[in-house]
Each structure stands twice: as C-alpha cells, then as structure tokens.
Amino acid sequence: MQADDIIVIGDKVELTLENNQVYKSKVEDKTDSGLILIAVPNLWGTYAPLYIGEEISLGFYRESGWFTTKMEAVSFEKQGEAQFVWLMQMEAPHRHQRRDAYRLPVRLRVKVYEYKDGMEKDIKHSGNEAEHDTIEETNTKDVSIGGISFTTKRGYEPGEKYLLKVFLEESPGQVKPFLVCAEVMRTVPTNDSKVNSIGMQFQGVTYNGSEVLSKYVVGQQQILIKQRRPGDIG
C-alpha cells in the first residue's frame, strides 16, 4: 500500500451497505491496528441500518483518484446524542476509475415520458419526443453513467419504467440530448413532505447515447477533481 492510499482522520468517505444504499460520513479517529471510527450516517433523522459483522464498501478520494476498501463493523459507540461505529479494514485500499458509480452533482434538464414495452429496442440517439406522452419536465440532482436522480412532487414507485430525455450541456449553448429507458430504484422523502427524491437506473442505452454520457460524466468528473480538494467530490 502506498503512503497516499492510507485512510486518515478527517477523510470524507462513502459507505455502500449490503442494501446498495450509499451514505456519506467522515473519519473521526483511527487506531494503530487499523480500526477507524466514523459517525453513523443519518438520513432525515434515521441512522443508516448498520449491524455488527456487516461487510461495508468504503470509498474515499486522494489526489491520484478514487479508492475503495472492504470494512467490517465491529462495535458501536455513543457520544452524547451522536452514534459512531468502529470499522475494521479487511483489505488494502485499491484505486479504480469508478466511472459507473460516480455521481455527478449537476442540474440538467430532463423530460419524463410514458414507457411502452419494447422501447429499449426502438429508441434513437435523439428521438422524436412528439411521439411520446410527456409526464413531466424536471431537473436532475445528479447523474452517472448508470443512472439519474431528481426531485419531484409526482408519485413514482420502485419497479416502474419510464422513457427519459436528458439534456447534457457540454458547454454554454452546446446541448446534446439523448433518450434512455430507466427503472425507478428508490423513492426517498425529503424535508418537504410533498417532494420526493427519485433514483432511476438506466436501461437500454443506445451506443451513441452511452458514448455521449460516458464522455460527459468522466470529463466533468476530471474538472471537479482539479477544482476541489480530495474528499469534496461525490
């Protein structure tokens, strides 16, 4: 393991649990034996569902890129009203590009259309939106090569499918829209009781659409890495 790969106190980290939910936290303390202490992430007043013996994927940034390692929850600690958990490192951190998982925090225009069976085979790179029934137009919270999230007052249920038209703005005045089918994976309430955060997973991305999206996400990721300190991204 190289020196710049080691997790240090103050690192901002992402935890991916067995239910595939991703939570953010920070390293509060560390022992010589490799145990690290983090605050149990809290989402809208509810702590992340951690338990002793659970295997967790933990990710963090360094100047040279994104690193992940496997951790195991070994004990809990309470300080006042705050909950903390000690994690034991199960493997050396390894660097990877994280292209599929990286969530780009950008506001992009997106149109949501009604889904019809077989659309994955029929959609084109740009498409003719007049042929589809528009459900709503909104803006993204973040986008990745694998999916998208946005807030809405409309009701969406996990398992439902929709056709999306995403408008990627590579530069001012340069917009590249593409069509993609997507399935609702999660619906999370926000502080506003009338608004939910919706997470969708892309399905049936055409070759051209995938190429445009990949180029956009990776390019914007590199810009953010150069502009921000390690740990501030994602």
What pLDDT does residue 230 have?
Answer: 45
Encoding tokens for residue 158? 């996990």
Sign of the C-alpha dihedral, residues 140, 148, 158, 123? positive
> What CATH number has the domain bearing residue 133?
2.40.10.220
- Strand locations in the chain (E): 12-16, 22-30, 35-39, 42-43, 46-47, 55-62, 65-79, 82-89, 94-96, 109-114, 134-143, 147-152, 161-171, 174-189, 196-203
What pLDDT does residue 209 have?
Answer: 56
Longest dimension (CA), the chain: 63
72 shares a domain with 25: yes
Residue 232 belongs to some domain of the structure: no
pLDDT along the chain (234 residues), means of 10: 67 77 87 89 78 84 77 89 89 62 77 83 52 85 83 90 85 76 84 84 62 70 59 42
What is the total count of domains within the chain? 2
Residue 101 belongs to some domain of the structure: no
What pLDDT does residue 85 have?
Answer: 93
Which of 64, 96, 128 delimits the end of a domain?
Answer: 96
Which domain covers residue 150, as residue numbers?
A: 109-227
Residue 53 belongs to some domain of the structure: yes
What pLDDT does residue 227 have?
Answer: 60
Encoding tokens for residue 61? 């940034």
Instruction: Find out whether 38 and 85 touch, Cβ atoms under 8 Å.
Output: yes
Expressed in angstroms, the distance from the first to the final Cα of the chain is 24
143 shares a domain with 40: no
156 shares a domain with 65: no
What pLDDT does residue 176 have?
Answer: 77
State the burial class of residue 168 (Cβ atoms within 10 Å of its Cβ: 0-12, 13-18, 19+).
buried
- DSSP helix/strand/coil, 220: helix
